Every structure is written in C-alpha cells, then in structure tokens.
C-alpha cells in the first residue's frame, strides 16, 4: 500500500538511520508505490555497466533508493531534521510546514 509521501523532488533531506546516517542530500526521485526515494550522494552502490553506444563499460557508482522512513526533511530555518505538517494559508493555498520551527516549506 502506497502512503501519502510528504517529500518531493528537490527537497533537502537528512538521513536518520542506516549506513549513511547524518548525510544530507537533495531528493532526485520519489517512488510512492515502493515508499522509496533516491537521494543525491546517499546509498551509493557499485554496479557493473555493459558497454553501449554512448557509454563505456566498467564499474559505475550510483545512488540506490532508500526507504522513506529513513529520511527526514531538513528544516529551512536551522537545517535540522523535522517532521512535516500541512496547513492552509489566508489565500486558501495548502502548504507544507516544518513542525520543528513552523516555517513554511513551499513558497
């Protein structure tokens, strides 16, 4: 069952558990059906690459998807991990906000 994910492509996140705990990065891709995200520089694995017309053969390092429960959004105010909530602004827009500081995440 896919959950409603509170992170989006381009968000700054902090890894909260696993071998890359404490690392920070930007979300490159969100996979809601698998509850996983691809974070830049996090969960890097080595893969053997076959030669193609536009790519050379060899061992390539690339990011592997990590589970959504292992990351937290970075608070825009102080950069610490925070949980995310939703609220409506005066003009009727629904926006995400950091529960830690109350700062609005979506402009």
Q: What pLDDT was estimated at residue 20? A: 94
Q: What pLDDT was estimated at residue 1? A: 59
User: Which structural domains are found in the chain, ordered by start?
Assistant: 11-98 (2.30.30.30)
44-101: pLDDT as tens digits: 999 999 999 998 999 999 999 999 999 999 999 999 999 999 999 999 999 999 999 9
Q: Tell me what the pLDDT averaged over the chain comes to.
A: 92
1-14: pLDDT as tens digits: 566 889 999 999 99
Question: Hey, CA dihedral for 101, 18, 7, 26, is it positive or negative?
Answer: positive
Q: What is the DSSP letter of 43?
A: S
Q: What pLDDT was estimated at residue 2? A: 60
Is 15 exposed, middle or buried, given 0-12, 13-18 or 19+ CB atoms closer than 10 A? buried
């Amino acid at each position: 069952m896919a959950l409603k994910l509170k992170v989006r492509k381009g968000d700054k996140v902090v890894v909260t558990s696993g071998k890359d705990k404490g690392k920070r990065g930007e979300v490159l891709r969100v996979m809601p059906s698998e509850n996983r995200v691809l974070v830049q520089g996090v969960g890097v694995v080595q893969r053997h690459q076959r030669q193609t017309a536009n790519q050379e053969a060899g061992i390539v390092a690339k990011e592997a998807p990590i589970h959504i429960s292992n990351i937290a959004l970075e608070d825009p105010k102080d950069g610490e991990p925070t949980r995310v909530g939703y609220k409506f602004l005066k003009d009727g827009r629904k926006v995400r906000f950091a529960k830690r500081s109350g700062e609005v995440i979506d402009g």
